[in-house]
Structure 1
């Protein structure tokens, strides 16, 4: 499973929606809409636009953090930070997938114990999105896979060149932000990811 995490600020090829469209055509399986700094109305409008692009395709739409928008657009899931998931119980009553972002084995175990649908574990390799932060490496993913039974999606500096190393650990998928959103040829990069993951 290949998940695209959106970031409208780093788009290189075309515009935001055309980038997402090309990624879908290339074969992404899920989209996490992660546009943190925009008003709710605008976020809902973007979510509806992405949903329209997805159309009848079997691509999951997951909204980052905003449960109201997730419900309003009937998204497939919500992505929450570990602290929000544990402390705010925003997801109670939400019928879709509840993904939890984790950075340690303890967090992954805690998320599973409290009913998360899957964990998004990061960051595996060095990435510009987490500049200066030491990557956790493949070891973290291996530890989580050994102890957790819900699906694990790996994130952070994953490229078509190293994705096989990650998939070989038995993860259910990988998530990519800049590697796709900032690509010169989005369709080609997504196709390459899918080829290396199969």
Structure 2
């Protein structure tokens, strides 16, 4: 993943990603990696989170790969549905890990303003990684979101919410999904050449 032209933008979910979260490990490990910082991690507002993502993409000098977790995945979908064409073209691809189903009955009230989830197909290659026992999104719902977003979808067995609590600290095994995304990005570039 040592491509100096590509920058990685970490898009955390609700409460952010603390130092032991795999997104923080990846930010330290990947070249040219930065993160979206939100003004309010506790009571997130959809418009604010989408605007923060938009600002960070605008700050990037070139192509960017989004690496989103949980509510960050929903933020990416909302952003892609309203972003201008120039900014959309700047996104090389997105890795969407453990999307939060903010439409589920058990969803925390603080997250409900992110519903309804944008179901438009993402205009860039994407890989969605879900789990068959994620409290925040059923595997059936993750598969549906992946299909509607146009993402290649993988459902991991017993991975929970793919966070520190479910045993995914550095989550080095997750890099294979990032490599798969890079392959999809490269394939799209070849088709356009």
Q: Which TM-score applies when normalising by structure 1?
A: 0.40
Does 1 or 2 have the higher relative contact order (CA < 8 Å, sep 6+)? 1
Q: Which TM-score applies when normalising by structure 2?
A: 0.41
